[in-house]
């Protein structure tokens, strides 16, 4: 049993938040000689339960850090573990040394309740190491900082218990001065995987365990700067910055009169701003109604201040010095501040008096090899990839991040909703009114505010996620409002469990729904009944091939008052790199570590892979989030260029235009942009004459003029395309002859490996249904309904020909081109299909694709607004999703070619009725994709599988949110379509025929 606290069992008590933990404070700059990192390899032992940990495991001599692992008596496993790290996953590409694995659940807890009951097996890790400190430290206060431990932790120094803390996503600090000794010191940190606090950490993510953020020591003087609260406000009416610095001074003995604090403000280049300020430190604490703390407050006003925003993240450096009784400077620290003002007014979220578009995404901490132990480089890489795709706002779902995240957002320019580590999803509407958890609610939210309030990037405080709405929320909201009246509050559950118009206003200044329908947000905006802006905290669930109707959302958002955007769910797949016994390496999802219960691949719902490779939908995200748009003016003789930014003009971008005639670039040039103020639009003349013949498009592309922190010079920021003349018929390949040879053989017959067959089925996307979670889809009816309906109709295991009425004819012209005509009639009871089209196979030598349609990347009928019409070329797509499913479509194709680049042979598909179709060419059949549970199960075929679709169902976001909108469904019962299959030889390839 754990020494000192084992009999108390605080981890099982929701009321016990901490023992001996120091007050939270903002991160402060520390002289390097007084900072010592303890990150690295620690000796480690794992026990099955905290009661199994003998006192000797934490109070005996620190064991060495063996490599390879060696046994420790009484431990399940022993060896070494990295700090930061998670013992639940492999590290350094090797098998885990412990028998405790990641566990993924979404709503359900990984063990049965009710709260605060804990499982019989509760893995407990003991981290050990030694450290030494300079002799000078022994006469000062030494603090142990534990950056993050899942779930709870306790610490011992030289056999002395120094503290216990909860909240796995915020740091805990302990005064270890009394336990220190000269020379080597022993440190033990015990981390218990599950606790009473786990019930309010029930987020949609992997359950991990370990010291996942940094551990360090800090030496502080007897009288020290304990905290600095910086409020850098902007007076919007006159542009004056007002900086108020509240410096808390800590006294380790009786406070003395005469201590003062001086503050200085400068630009980041060191140029002084204003005059130095000075304030005395109150020392008379026994003064009722007068004493409010050992806090020195200075205030200065700055004229001509450069405000902070995500578009122009200007910061200033505030230097705070502590002056002793003799007038000597004993300590100095720094805080970086940004002047800005945030408010909710007139149904708008305003920054510096201006409404902003919330081009947002939700982000979890995740690295495929280190789990929750993300580095500064990981965070920066996430932010770079976000901004390259025009994402400028982040919700820290669903907990505070490491402080380096906020430092980077301040520096680089990102708007942040900072969210408290509170989610009781499995007990959604009960714990929020449970007084046993009231202290946890208040501590988790208030400590977040105390730590992060100096960051200009933090615009909004969030009270947590999916925890009902109750007394505990209102209590926390009241504390935050009193402590920080300069920021609005966010909590989705407050209006959700009441109403959008005036419900839950104590706890949320925003209407911030999850996955609302487009119609519902449009109604809220148009009604004008509510006083709060609507900003979706989660929308468009990016699970697999998803994010349909993003453009439809933003069409409504940008034209409806009261709507300002939202946060996509979510940034990154949470795949964990897993090394199997047969040498296979894969990115694993829920259940692939053998855990029960689990929620399968619901953890793979990111806009990028776990390795940060953008999924195809990211192109559509970048387009709907673009900072500038180009549309055709009402008179069709000009372009309307709209600046969607709130603070910058368009001088940092250059614009280029291309005139496309029948897909080919006929003219191009630079588009000269006039001065366009933020939130304004200007008409500019068309840069060219519209040709009298052919299908004509004008494409405008906006590029960065200079390199920035997120992209090189020339990076494509935004693009738009306007149709100037649309062809009425597909004349991409005129018929060479009129003689009809009926069903005579033609050139295409020698190439087809598999004949042309009717296809109504696609390998279901995650939005169509959860093929790996059949109980959710088939019994409980959760998620999209397409897959269940298609399977019941027999499409998964029967030829489409056997299920519907299909009439087809083929005619051959005098050049040997084959034209196919199909009529498909669906029975009345037949469900809406995924597609209506045909499929066939070509030999492996056809390795290139070329098409005149939307591209260049994969696109679908409800996710193609950012895909421009043109002539594109690529190899067949590789399957981009963690769980195999439908992929690789190109919509609105005027023609589509499969090319043998060696011989020059081309098979061209030319739709003749309708004049455009949707095409794809891959090395997998729909059956292959449906049968594979994970990407490593999928084996590419040699042949090329081609699909031609007269109709293809949209994607929607039905895995968590609205299904496909009616205009993107296939609701008709009869379909007719025609196309030609033409074999073209090498003499024509690349000859400029379109």
DSSP E strands: which ranges in 382-498?
Answer: 393-395, 415-419, 458-462, 489-490
d(CA 656, CA 717): 12
Alpha-carbon separation of residue 614 from 283, 383, 386, 608, 620 (angstroms)? 57, 13, 10, 4, 11
Alpha-carbon separation of residue 817 from 511, 810, 813, 949, 962 (angstroms)? 59, 10, 5, 20, 43
* ∠ Cα 99 371 162 (to 5°): 75
Look up residue 590 and give its DSSP letter.
Answer: T
Look up residue 776 and give its DSSP letter.
Answer: I
Catalytic (active site) residue 538: yes
Catalytic residue among 538, 620, 759, 858: 538
d(CA 766, CA 695): 36
Catalytic residue among 423, 466, 522, 886: 466
SS3 for 472?
helix
CA 660 to mean position of chain CA atoms: 36
Per-residue buried b or exposed e for 894-926, using 16+ beta carbons within 10 Å of the residue's own CB: bbbbbbbeeeebbbbbbbbeebbbbbbbbbbbb
Radius of gyration of the chain (CA): 31
Reduced 3-state DSSP string for 497-564: CCCCCCCCCCCCCCECCECCCHHHHHHHHHHCCCCCCEEEEEEEECCCCCCCCHHHHHHHHHHCCCEE
d(CA 696, CA 677): 30
Q: Which residue has the tokens 């609302």?
A: 516
Say if residues 643 and 677 touch (Cβ distance below 8 Å).
yes
d(CA 480, CA 470): 16
Contacts of 564 (CB under 8 A, 6+ apart): 348, 349, 355, 356, 357, 358, 533, 534, 535, 557
**Phi, psi angles (nearest 5°) of residue 335:** -135, 130
Tokens of 483: 């402590």
d(CA 807, CA 791): 23
Look up residue 71 and give its DSSP letter.
Answer: -
d(CA 714, CA 653): 9
The DSSP line for 285-342 is: ---TTT---SEEEEEEEETT---B-SSSB--EEEEEEEE-TTS-EEEEEEEEE----E
Look up residue 634 and give its DSSP letter.
Answer: T
Say if residues 395 and 419 touch (Cβ distance below 8 Å).
yes
Q: Which residue has the tokens 């700059």?
A: 29
Of 424, 427, 462, 432, nearest in space to 445 by CA: 462
Catalytic (active site) residue 778: no
For the annotated catalytic residues, the residue numbers are: 466, 538
């Amino acid at each position: 049993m754990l020494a000192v606290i084992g009999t108390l069992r605080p981890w099982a008590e929701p009321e016990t938040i901490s023992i001996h933990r120091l007050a939270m404070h903002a991160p402060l700059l520390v002289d390097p000689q007084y900072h010592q990192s303890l990150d690295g390899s620690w000796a480690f032992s794992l026990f099955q339960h905290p009661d199994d940990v003998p006192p000797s495991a934490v109070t005996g001599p620190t064991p060495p850090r063996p490599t390879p692992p060696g046994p420790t008596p009484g431990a399940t496993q022993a060896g070494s573990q990295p700090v930061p790290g998670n013992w639940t996953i492999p590290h350094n590409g090797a098998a885990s040394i412990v028998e405790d694995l990641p566990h993924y659940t979404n709503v359900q807890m990984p063990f049965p309740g009710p709260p605060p009951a804990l499982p019989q097996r509760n893995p407990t890790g003991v981290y050990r190491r030694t450290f030494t400190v300079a002799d000078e430290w022994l006469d000062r206060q030494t603090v142990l900082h534990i950056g993050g431990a899942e779930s709870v932790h306790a610490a011992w120094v030289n056999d002395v218990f120094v503290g216990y803390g909860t909240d796995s996503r915020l740091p805990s600090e302990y005064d270890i001065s009394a336990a220190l000794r000269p020379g080597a010191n022993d440190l033990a940190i015990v981390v218990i995987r599950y606790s009473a606090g786990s019930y309010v950490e029930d987020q949609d993510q992997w359950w991990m365990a370990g010291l996942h953020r940094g551990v360090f020591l800090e030496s502080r003087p007897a009288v020290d700067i304990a905290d600095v609260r910086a409020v850098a406000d902007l007076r919007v009416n006159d542009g004056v910055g007002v900086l108020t610095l509240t410096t808390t001074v800590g006294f380790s003995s009786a406070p003395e009169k005469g201590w003062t604090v001086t503050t200085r403000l400068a630009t980041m280049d060191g140029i002084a701003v204003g005059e130095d300020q000075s304030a005395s430190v109150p020392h008379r604490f026994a003064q009722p109604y007068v004493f409010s703390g050992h806090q020195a407050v200075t205030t200065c006003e700055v004229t001509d201040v450069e405000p902070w925003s995500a578009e122009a993240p200007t910061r200033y450096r505030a230097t705070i010095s502590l002056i002793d009784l003799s007038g000597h400077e004993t300590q100095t620290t720094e805080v970086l501040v940004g002047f800005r003002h945030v408010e909710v007014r007139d149904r708008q979220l305003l920054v510096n008096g201006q409404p902003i578009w919330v081009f947002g995404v939700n982000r979890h901490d995740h690295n495929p090899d280190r789990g929750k132990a993300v580095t500064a480089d990981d965070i920066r890489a996430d932010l770079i990839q976000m901004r390259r795709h025009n994402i400028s706002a982040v919700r820290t779902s669903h907990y505070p991040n490491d402080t380096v995240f906020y430092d980077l957002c301040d520096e680089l320019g990102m708007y942040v909703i900072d969210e408290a580590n509170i989610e009781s999803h499995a007990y959604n509407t009960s714990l929020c009114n449970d007084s046993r958890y009231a202290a946890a609610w208040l501590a988790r939210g208030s400590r977040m505010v105390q730590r992060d309030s100096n960051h200009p990037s933090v615009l909004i405080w969030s009270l947590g996620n999916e925890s009902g709405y109750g007394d505990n929320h209102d209590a926390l909201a009241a504390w935050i409002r009193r402590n920080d009246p300069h920021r609005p509050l966010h909590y989705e559950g407050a209006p959700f469990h009441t109403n959008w118009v005036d419900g839950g206003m104590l706890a949320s200044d925003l209407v911030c729904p999850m996955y609302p329908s487009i119609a519902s947000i449009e109604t809220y905006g148009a009604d004008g009944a509510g006083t709060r802006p609507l900003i979706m905290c989660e929308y468009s669930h990016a699970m697999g091939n998803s994010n349909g109707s993003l453009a439809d959302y933003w069409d409504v958002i940008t034209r409806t008052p009261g709507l300002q955007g939202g946060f996509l769910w979510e940034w990154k797949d949470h795949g964990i790199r897993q090394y199997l016994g047969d040498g296979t390496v894969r990115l694993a999802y829920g259940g692939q570590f053998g855990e029960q219960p689990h929620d399968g691949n619901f953890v793979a719902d990111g806009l990028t892979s776990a390795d940060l490779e953008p999924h195809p939908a990211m192109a559509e995200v970048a387009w709907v989030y673009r900072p500038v748009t180009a549309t055709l003016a009402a008179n069709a003789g000009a372009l309307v260029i709209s600046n969607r930014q709130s603070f910058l003009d368009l001088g940092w971008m250059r614009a280029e235009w291309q005139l496309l005639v029948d897909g080919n670039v006929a003219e191009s040039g630079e588009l000269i942009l006039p001065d366009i103020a933020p939130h304004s639009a200007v008409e500019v003349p068309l840069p060219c004459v519209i040709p009298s013949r052919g299908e004509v498009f004008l494409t405008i592309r906006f590029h960065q003029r200079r390199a920035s922190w997120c992209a090189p010079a020339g990076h494509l920021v935004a693009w738009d395309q306007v149709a100037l003349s649309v062809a009425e018929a597909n004349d991409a390949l005129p018929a060479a002859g009129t003689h009809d040879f009926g069903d005579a053989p033609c050139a295409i017959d020698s190439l087809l490996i598999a004949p042309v067959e009717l296809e109504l089925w696609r390998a279901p996307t995650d939005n169509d249904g959860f093929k790996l979670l059949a109980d959710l889809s088939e019994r409980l009816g959760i998620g999209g309904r397409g897959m269940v309906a298609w399977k019941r109709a027999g499409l998964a295991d029967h030829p489409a020909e056997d299920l519907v009425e299909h009439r087809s004819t083929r005619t051959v012209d005098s050049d040997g081109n084959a034209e196919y005509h199909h009529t498909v009639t669906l029975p009345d009871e037949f469900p809406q299909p995924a597609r209506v089209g045909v499929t066939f196979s070509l030999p492996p030598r056809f390795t290139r694709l070329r098409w005149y349609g939307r591209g260049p990347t994969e696109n679908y009928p409800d996710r193609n607004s950012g895909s421009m019409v043109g002539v594109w070329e690529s190899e067949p797509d590789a399957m981009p999703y963690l769980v195999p499913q439908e992929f690789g479509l190109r919509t609105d194709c005027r023609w589509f070619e499969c090319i043998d680049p060696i011989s020059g042979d081309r098979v061209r598909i030319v739709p003749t009725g309708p004049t455009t179709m949707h095409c794809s060419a891959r090395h997998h059949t729909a059956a292959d994709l449906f049968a594979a549970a994970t990407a490593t199960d999928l084996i590419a075929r040699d042949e090329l599988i081609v699909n031609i679709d007269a109709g293809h169902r949209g994607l929607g976001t039905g895995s968590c949110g609205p299904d496909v909108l009616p205009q993107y469904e296939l609701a008709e019962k009869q379909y007719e379509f025609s196309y030609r299959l033409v074999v073209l030889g090498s003499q024509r390839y690349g000859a400029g025929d379109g």
